[in-house]
Amino acid sequence: MRIDRVLANNPGPFTGPGTNTYVVGDEVAVIIDPGPIDGDHRRAIEMVIGDRRPAAVVVTHTHPDHAPLANPLARDLGVPALGNRPGPDFVPDRILSDGSAIGVPGVDLVAVHTPGHSEDHLCLRLGSTLFTGDHIMGGSSVMVEDVAAYLGSLERLAAFDLTRLYPGHGPEIDSPRQVISWYIAHRLQREGEILAAVRAGATSVGEVVEVVYREVDPSLHPLAARSVDAHLRKLAADGVIRILSGRWRVEGDSK
């Protein structure tokens, strides 16, 4: 099946080279993650659709680099906008939950609910191909909101027989098994480093970031802080650490 990628002109620390919009289908066109409101990007998408018949606009999640163009584009193309739930700049015409087919003849896309990066995150599966949104990016680490959910979603994807991934940012991935394993291992490694930092005396998100992300460009520290916060909450839910008077400490440490 024909799959075209249209790169939005929004590169940055959160978006890598920019958001990938995908146009999928032979006779019809399903648009995945149209991206931010941007006239040039919109014209590029319409150019790629060409004489295919537009059938649906789908968003993987409602972050501002993925969803804001979805409703206006869908309205003008006369097709429904689909997603897991409403977000700041997105209102779905139809809700997709885990296992929902998008319902476009000729494009058998099925939603896979993959919470973790965000609660509303969907991957979209087309046979052995998976559009991964921000759940898996082109080989780079992902900002995670809920670590336990994120790992659970990766484990689910690992059970699918996938041959190719199309991420929301960065290049296509031809070795899904290795990449999914890398993401799981990377998260567990971070968890180990974060727990070690708390054991060594770090008591706040900022202090943990200073230790664990000291090799990383400080401009990315606010992003890292969100993942560290999510990891600390998971470790607390696991009963390994706890917060006392606003300071994180290892469970059982009475100091």
Tokens of 9: 């002109």
Between 19 and 71, name the residue whose CB sits nearer to Zn ion. Answer: 19
Whole-number Å distance between alpha carbons of 109 and 106: 9
Taking the alpha carbons of 111, 112, 118, 119 in that order, is the dihedral positive or negative?
A: positive
Q: Is 146 in the site for Zn ion (CB under 5 A)?
A: no
DSSP state of 87: B
- 89 contact partners, CB below 8 Å, separation of at least 6: 62, 64, 67, 68, 71
Between 71 and 118, name the residue whose CB sits nearer to Zn ion. Answer: 118
Whole-number Å distance between alpha carbons of 227 and 222: 9
Between 25 and 87, name the residue whose CB sits nearer to Zn ion. Answer: 87
Whole-number Å distance between alpha carbons of 254 and 73: 57
Between 96 and 107, name the residue whose CB sits nearer to Zn ion. Answer: 96
- Tell me the closest approach of the beta carbon of residue 14 to Zn ion, in angstroms: 8
- Tell me the closest approach of the beta carbon of residue 132 to Zn ion, in angstroms: 11
Of residues 2 through 61, those in contact with Zn ion by CB under 5 A are none
Q: Given the rule CB under 5 A, which of 87-95, 103-111, 126-134, 191-199 is the region that contacts Zn ion? A: 126-134
Count of other CB atoms within 10 angstroms of residue 66? 31
Q: Given the rule CB under 5 A, which of 29-37, 129-137, 175-183, 237-245 is the region that contacts Zn ion? A: 129-137
Q: Is 234 in the site for Zn ion (CB under 5 A)?
A: no
Tokens of 33: 């993650």
Between 118 and 129, name the residue whose CB sits nearer to Zn ion. Answer: 118
Contact (Cβ atoms closer than 8 angstroms) between residue 120 and residue 84: yes
Q: Is 134 in the site for Zn ion (CB under 5 A)?
A: yes
Between 18 and 25, name the residue whose CB sits nearer to Zn ion. Answer: 18
- Tell me the closest approach of the beta carbon of residue 180 to Zn ion, in angstroms: 18
Q: Which position's Cβ is nearest Zn ion?
A: 63
Q: Which of 255, 217, 210 is nearest to 14 (CA)?
A: 217
β-strand pairing of 81-83 with 53-58: parallel
- Tell me the closest approach of the beta carbon of residue 133 to Zn ion, in angstroms: 7
Number of residues that bind Zn ion (CB under 5 A): 2
- Tell me the closest approach of the beta carbon of residue 243 to Zn ion, in angstroms: 27
Whole-number Å distance between alpha carbons of 168 and 61: 10
Q: Given the rule CB under 5 A, which of 5-13, 49-57, 128-136, 171-179 is the region that contacts Zn ion? A: 128-136
What is the number of helices (H) and of strands (E) in the chain?
A: 6, 12
Between 63 and 113, name the residue whose CB sits nearer to Zn ion. Answer: 63
Interacting residue with Zn ion among 63, 135, 190, 231 (CB under 5 A): 63
Whole-number Å distance between alpha carbons of 118 and 85: 11
- Tell me the closest approach of the beta carbon of residue 78 to Zn ion, in angstroms: 28
Contact residues toward Zn ion (CB under 5 A) are: 63, 134
